[in-house]
């Protein structure tokens, strides 16, 4: 007997949400797209080969139980989007976070049912949304892993998780990894350096390579490494510094997401990026004055708009 398509609910038609909709539009997946207004828009999606396709996702059907919930929203919207859809989640649902920054795992974990699984992804693809056009601007990768605390083995949960893993194989360069925590912290370090610098100075990512910012980057990463050391995650300072500079170079022509948020007078994800380093510092009694200062500066710019 042919296998039923895997049901998959995607929240929002933003850049990453449309990217997921494009790559998961497969006969083996049954997509449901949730928007705040209830109506879906036609998205003109352009892939890295410049091939364009119009996406006509079905509006969300509230009668459907959610087995796989994909949350590609800004970090500050994850909690409310989850709460809104929580009543529709299957007992053994998989919930997958695609946001930048950290802190959402802590927000969602207490809300999980005993058989629900929480997965987190680190995305390095570049995707740009301009009006109804979504462009896959840069080929990157997706690393994801299970971050459910105190997992209990359950045959039904294991089956839905296996279906979810099969479904996610349709995404470009998508790999399940055991060390997802390490990947998430590494991406946090990259964003903690590139995003506020490029947002406050309204410059492209390559500007981070300017000698002028070396001391600031050193200070951001120094505070970061004290925290990761305290939680027994080993990051070598020099390797991390090289990674940040390599990403700034490789994405040099781009404007970071925080740069665009400030430019477009939108809320930034600062609370979940440098703000998360500050929060962890407070919990661990580690001083983080440089990250604290950056949070204050970015919030100051946000409040001016």
Ligand X SMILES: CC(C)(CO)C(=O)C(=O)O
Binding site for ligand X (CB under 6 A): 100, 190-191, 194-195, 205, 247, 251, 254, 256-257
126 versus 218: smaller Cβ distance to ligand NDP: 126
Q: Which does 98 bind (CB under 5 to 8 A by kind): ligand X, ligand NDP, none?
A: ligand NDP
Shortest separation between residue 31's beta carbon and ligand X, angstroms = 25
Cα angle at 161 between 158 and 167, to 5 degrees? 145
Q: Which does 74 bind (CB under 5 to 8 A by kind): ligand NDP, ligand X, none?
A: ligand NDP
Shortest separation between residue 140's beta carbon and ligand X, angstroms = 9
> What's the CA gap between 187 and 126, in Å, rounded?
14
Instruction: Give per-residue burial for 210-230: e unless 16+ CB within 10 Å, then b.
Output: eeebeebbebbbebbbbbbee
Which residue's beta carbon is nearest to the bound ligand NDP?
Answer: 14
Shortest separation between residue 208's beta carbon and ligand X, angstroms = 9
Shortest separation between residue 251's beta carbon and ligand X, angstroms = 4
Q: Which does 72 bind (CB under 5 to 8 A by kind): ligand X, ligand NDP, none?
A: ligand NDP
Going by DSSP bridges, is the β-strand pair 142-146/117-123 parallel, antiparallel, or unpaired?
antiparallel
Shortest separation between residue 54's beta carbon and ligand X, angstroms = 27
Q: Are 56 and 42 in contact (CB under 8 A)?
A: yes
38 versus 155: smaller Cβ distance to ligand NDP: 38
5 versus 126: smaller Cβ distance to ligand NDP: 126
Provide the binding-site residues for ligand NDP, judged by CB under 6 A: 11-17, 34-36, 72-75, 77, 80-81, 84, 98-100, 123, 125-127, 129, 257, 269
Q: Are 125 and 238 in contact (CB under 8 A)?
A: no
98 versus 213: smaller Cβ distance to ligand NDP: 98
5 versus 126: smaller Cβ distance to ligand X: 126
60 versus 98: smaller Cβ distance to ligand X: 98
């Amino acid at each position: 007997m042919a296998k039923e398509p895997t049901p998959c609910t995607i929240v929002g038609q933003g850049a990453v949400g449309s990217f997921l909709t494009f790559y998961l539009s497969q006969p083996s997946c049954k997509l449901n797209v949730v928007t705040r207004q209830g109506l879906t828009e036609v998205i003109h999606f352009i892939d890295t080969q410049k091939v364009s396709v119009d996406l006509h996702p079905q509006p969300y059907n509230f009668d459907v139980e959610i087995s796989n919930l994909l949350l590609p929203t800004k970090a500050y919207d994850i909690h409310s989007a989850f709460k809104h859809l929580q009543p529709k989640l299957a007992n053994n649902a998989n919930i997958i976070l695609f946001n930048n920054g950290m802190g959402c795992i802590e927000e969602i974990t207490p809300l999980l049912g005993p058989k629900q699984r929480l997965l987190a992804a680190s995305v390095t693809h570049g995707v740009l949304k301009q009006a109804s056009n979504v462009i896959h601007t840069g080929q990157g990768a997706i690393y994801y892993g299970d971050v459910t605390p105190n997992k209990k083995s359950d045959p039904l949960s294991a089956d839905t998780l296996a279906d979810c893993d099969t479904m996610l194989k349709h995404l470009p360069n998508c790999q399940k990894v055991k060390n997802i925590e390490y990947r998430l912290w590494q991406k946090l370090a990259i964003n903690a350096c590139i995003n506020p610098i490029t947002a406050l100075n309204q410059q492209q990512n390559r500007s981070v390579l300017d000698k002028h910012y070396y001391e600031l980057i050193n200070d951001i990463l120094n505070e970061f490494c004290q925290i990761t050391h305290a939680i027994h995650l080993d990051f070598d300072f020099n390797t991390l510094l090289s990674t940040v500079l390599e990403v700034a170079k490789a994405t040099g022509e781009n404007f970071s997401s925080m740069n665009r948020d400030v430019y477009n007078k939108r809320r930034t994800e600062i609370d979940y990026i440098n703000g998360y380093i500050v929060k962890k510092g407070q919990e661990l009694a580690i001083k983080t004055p440089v990250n604290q200062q950056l949070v204050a500066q970015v919030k100051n710019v946000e409040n001016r708009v």
